[in-house]
Amino acid sequence: MAGGRKREFDEHIALQRAMEVFWRKGYTAASLSDLTQQMGINKTSMYSAFGNKAALFVKAARHYVETEMRAHFAHLQAPGASLGKRLRDYMCSVVRMQAATSQPRGCFLVLCQSEVAAGDLPEEAQALLESEDHMAREMFATLFATDPEAIALGLNAAADTNALTVYTVLKGTAAMARSGVPADELEAVIETTLHGIGLMTLH
């Protein structure tokens, strides 16, 4: 018996295009027609390759984390740099991505996380978004609680509050970038925020 017929489209490209649709419209507003049209495939091919809309969304969200977010984390481990500079470089890198004109502006995850409260998301999609939200806050809280410089500055005493501050600012810059505020203006907000916490960002 002959093997299954080879797919006539690039799944990576199709997933990238699906991610961009969800990034522009969110989960609820992205129709199957929007998705298949941009992906360049029909509904049968979409279901065969990716599953239903919810399954496609989960794959697109994970693709976003891997292709758009993962690289920013390297700034937080930069050897020899102060905590302030590491955080600044990380946050500014994220902001430049949020404000880039070569892709939908803002943040895929932040946009779709705003839909969670409405209760319109499938369970798997909601669980993924809530997990990413929790992990982001936990990452910053752990940094403030364990980094030697943070401890020396006493920032570990309010690790959770400092983490929430940083994460709230990044969610805010996502919204502002989506509305057209340029990256350089948003980077000034980051400087102000980190100075307010008690961090120098020059070295």
pLDDT digits (tens, 9 = 90+) for 172-187: 999 999 999 999 999 9
Under the banding of pLDDT at 50, 70 and 90, the label for residue 9 is confident
Residue labelled with tokens 């920032």: 155
Q: Is the pLDDT of residue 154 over 80?
A: yes
Q: Exposed (0-12), middle (13-18) or buried (19+): which is 65, by Cβ within 10 Å?
A: middle
Start-to-end CA distance of the chain, whole Å, equals 65
Backbone angles phi, psi at 77, to 5 degrees: -110, 15
pLDDT digits (tens, 9 = 90+) for 122-139: 899 899 999 999 999 999
pLDDT digits (tens, 9 = 90+) for 34-64: 999 999 999 999 999 999 999 999 999 999 9
How is 64-91 classified by DSSP, letter by letter? HIIIIIGGGGGGGG-TT--HHHHHHHHH
DSSP secondary structure letter of residue 182: -
Catalogue all structural domains in the chain, each as residue range(s) with its CATH number: 11-63 (1.10.10.60), 70-197 (1.10.357)
- Measure the CA–CA gap between 139 and 136, rounded to whole angstroms: 5
Q: Is the pLDDT of residue 3 over 50?
A: no
Q: What is the pTM of this model?
A: 0.88
